[in-house]
Structure 1
Amino acid sequence: MARPLISIVVIAYQMRRELPRTVQSLCPPFQRGIDQSDVELIIVDNGSTEPVTLEQLSSTIERTVIINVSDADQSPAAAANQGLRQASADLVGLWIDGARLASPGVLAGALAASRMDPLAPVVTLGFHLGDKPQGVAIREGYNQRVEDELLAGIDWTKDGYRLFEICALGGSSRLGWFANIVESNALFLPARLWQQLGGLDEAFRSRGGGLVNLDLFTRALDAAGTPPITLLGEGTFHQVHGGVATNAPESPWKEFAEEYQQIKGKAYERPPYKSRYLSVLDGERLDPLLQKFR
């Protein structure tokens, strides 16, 4: 069997409702312009009381494995690194939050960007399902039942770009397509850069990893030696699941920032960079999305 073109590592915890949808969104035919044999899917369950099994997933990717972490930590860093070590493709994408659906051109776009510049980090914006960021929306009654109805109402499995009709920009991407983001929830790096970075910093031990994904993003930008490529018209869509940061009624930022200060010896700062942009969508489909989330 030929090596895959792209490996995707997905971290999950207590996501029996959300993970099957995420996996479906990462598989052809939902993912367009890519073959099933091109993809390797590595799911790392970080200590769920009832882990999802392969039989419960509608994966069309033959190379799909689930790694169950028995000595799980409340941070996903070690689990992510375990999955990253299993990846065999030259381009590796990390889904640090397995509750995030992908838009249909993410994988084809990442491969196209990698061909454009094999050294570049490829990044995506993060969106929240619902009409407001979920930290606000849940205080106003947004919940899984409401979200299920939203998803059913757009028949998202037939046209994943309709997810943009029922979402809001997440906090890390709140300034829109052409502004710098502070993290990517679908971050693609060449395998050799993952190895150079040593994956995620396992010193981040806070619930949910604290600022570990922001730290990863900053370190990847610094180490790449070439500007990142942002996928226009693509993104990830967070399903509400009680996450410790995205779905927290009160922001844990102070706790997370203090841990960052202790580990790094300095306060967290938003990374400065100039992105390049790429889209696999035609103008008729892309232009309305650029206008809506500019």
Structure 2
Amino acid sequence: MHEAGPAVSLVIVSYRMTRQLRRTLLSLAPPYQQLEGVGPVEVIVVDNGSNPAPTTDDLAVDGLDVRLHHWPNPTHSPVPAMNFGLSQAGAPIIAAMIDGARMATPGLIAAGVKGCALHPQAVVATYNYHLGPKPQNQSVHEGYDSAVEDALLQRIGWPDHGYRLFEIGVPEVGEGWPGPLLESNAPFMHRAMWDRVGGYDAGFVSIGGGAANPDVFRRACELPGAQLIKVAGEGTFHQIHGGTVTNALDQKALRVAGIEYRRIRGRPLALVRQRGWLFDPGTGAVTAEADSSPTATPGGVRSSRQDS
């Protein structure tokens, strides 16, 4: 008998974030990640020119199949490395994490798989959060750093209590479930949908990839027949690492990203306000989003999502 291939591929790009990436990988591995019924998971990490480069030993996590690639032609933008990682994915369901410093909640992968099962052209959007009291491009002005972040994670007993991340994080750029999204930092789609999207646009060459991730999310949502599915109660949490956009002390990188996006797409960068399906993976409930849907608490629906 031939060994079954992966059911889910997670593609991650990293750059000078080995410490943060180890936490990300821990948050994607069992038993932290609740993977009952999901099937085999592979993680493809493409390092985009870190010096020193991470090794397989650096990224080894029990229970997780991690394949590490060192991108031979690193650029300021992670887009080429990201597209290479997508080309290596062997599963029928693929999630992309263009920023390797984002920790997951315990049901993230299962929610992505369940969401994809709801529609053949699903765009399953998990929401984005920052660790700390404010979005990190604000909190770094007020003394937020890796030591403060370590203390917050210790306070909630992470990784033993993964859903308590919501207690020490805030929605990114004002996003909150089920409100509009600029992007998803762990979008799940069937391989055929990724093929239709065509991966990330190589035209985004600015540092950090600029708006490449919001762009791929918007283009996926705009495909004919696409069904946006907004996941409640799960998300990714950004760790501080000196990122060029997320942790920028000024707004220059954001302005450059917006200018580049307008040049490529001919329109301003904006939130995706498309109405979708609201999906609670804990209960399996799926409802059509109404025009008057209120923005819920930062964690969304979590009554059925408990730490083990």
Whether contact under 8 Å (1:91, 1:191) holds in the other structure is yes
| 1:82-101 deviation digits (Å, cap 9, x = unpaired) | 00000011110001100000
Q: Are the structure 2 counterparts of residues 189 and 143 from structure 1 closer, same or farther at C-alpha, using a change threshold of 3 Å?
A: same
Q: Are the structure 2 counterparts of residues 93 and 177 from structure 1 closer, same or farther at C-alpha, using a change threshold of 3 Å?
A: same
Q: Which runs of 5+ in 1 are unaligned?
A: 284-288
Structure 1-normalised TM-score? 0.92
Matched letter for residue 241 of structure 1: H
Q: Are the structure 2 counterparts of residues 248 and 197 from structure 1 closer, same or farther at C-alpha, using a change threshold of 3 Å?
A: same
Whether contact under 8 Å (1:102, 1:235) holds in the other structure is yes
Q: Which residue of 1 aligns with 2:276?
A: 275
Q: Are the structure 2 counterparts of residues 271 and 37 from structure 1 closer, same or farther at C-alpha, using a change threshold of 3 Å?
A: closer
User: In terms of mean alpha carbon deviation, does 201-210 or 154-163 score higher?
Assistant: 154-163
Q: Which residue of 2 aligns with 1:57?
A: 59
- Larger helix percent: 1
Query: SS at the partner of 1:123?
Result: strand
Q: Are the structure 2 counterparts of residues 244 and 25 from structure 1 closer, same or farther at C-alpha, using a change threshold of 3 Å?
A: same
| 1:222-278 deviation digits (Å, cap 9, x = unpaired) | 116132111100000000000111101111222111111222233334333112122
Whether contact under 8 Å (1:183, 1:214) holds in the other structure is yes
| 1:139-182 deviation digits (Å, cap 9, x = unpaired) | 000000110111111121112001111111111xx141121101
Tell me the percent identity: 39
Displacement of 1:219 after TM fit? 0.5
Give the distance between the partners of 2:224 and 2:97, measured in 1 at CA.
19
Q: Which residue of 2 aligns with 1:262?
A: 263
Displacement of 1:58 after TM fit? 4.0
Give the distance between the partners of 1:163 and 1:58, measured in 2 at CA.
23
Displacement of 1:35 after TM fit? 6.5
Whether contact under 8 Å (1:193, 1:224) holds in the other structure is no
User: In terms of mean alpha carbon deviation, does 238-247 or 264-273 score higher?
Assistant: 264-273
Matched letter for residue 85 of structure 2: G
Query: SS at the partner of 1:2?
Result: coil
Q: Which residue of 2 aligns with 1:286?
A: none
Aligned residues: 287
Give the distance between the partners of 2:29 and 2:248, measured in 1 at CA.
30
**Pairing 1:73–2:75 present:** yes
Whether contact under 8 Å (2:166, 2:298) holds in the other structure is no
Q: Are the structure 2 counterparts of residues 184 and 132 from structure 1 closer, same or farther at C-alpha, using a change threshold of 3 Å?
A: same
Displacement of 1:116 after TM fit? 1.5
Q: How does 1:85-164 map to 2 (within 5 A)?
A: 85-164=87-166
Matched letter for residue 183 of structure 1: E
**Pairing 1:291–2:297 present:** yes
Query: SS at the partner of 2:166?
Result: helix
Q: Which residue of 1 aligns with 2:238?
A: 238
Structure 2-normalised TM-score? 0.88
| 1:33-82 deviation digits (Å, cap 9, x = unpaired) | 33785201100101001122221224234532001012101101100000
Q: Which residue of 2 aligns with 1:19?
A: 21
Whether contact under 8 Å (1:227, 1:273) holds in the other structure is no
Give the distance between the partners of 2:215 and 2:43, measured in 1 at CA.
24
Q: Are the structure 2 counterparts of residues 224 and 3 from structure 1 closer, same or farther at C-alpha, using a change threshold of 3 Å?
A: farther
Q: Which runs of 5+ in 2 are unaligned?
A: 285-294, 301-308
Whether contact under 8 Å (2:171, 2:298) holds in the other structure is no
Q: Are the structure 2 counterparts of residues 113 and 36 from structure 1 closer, same or farther at C-alpha, using a change threshold of 3 Å?
A: closer
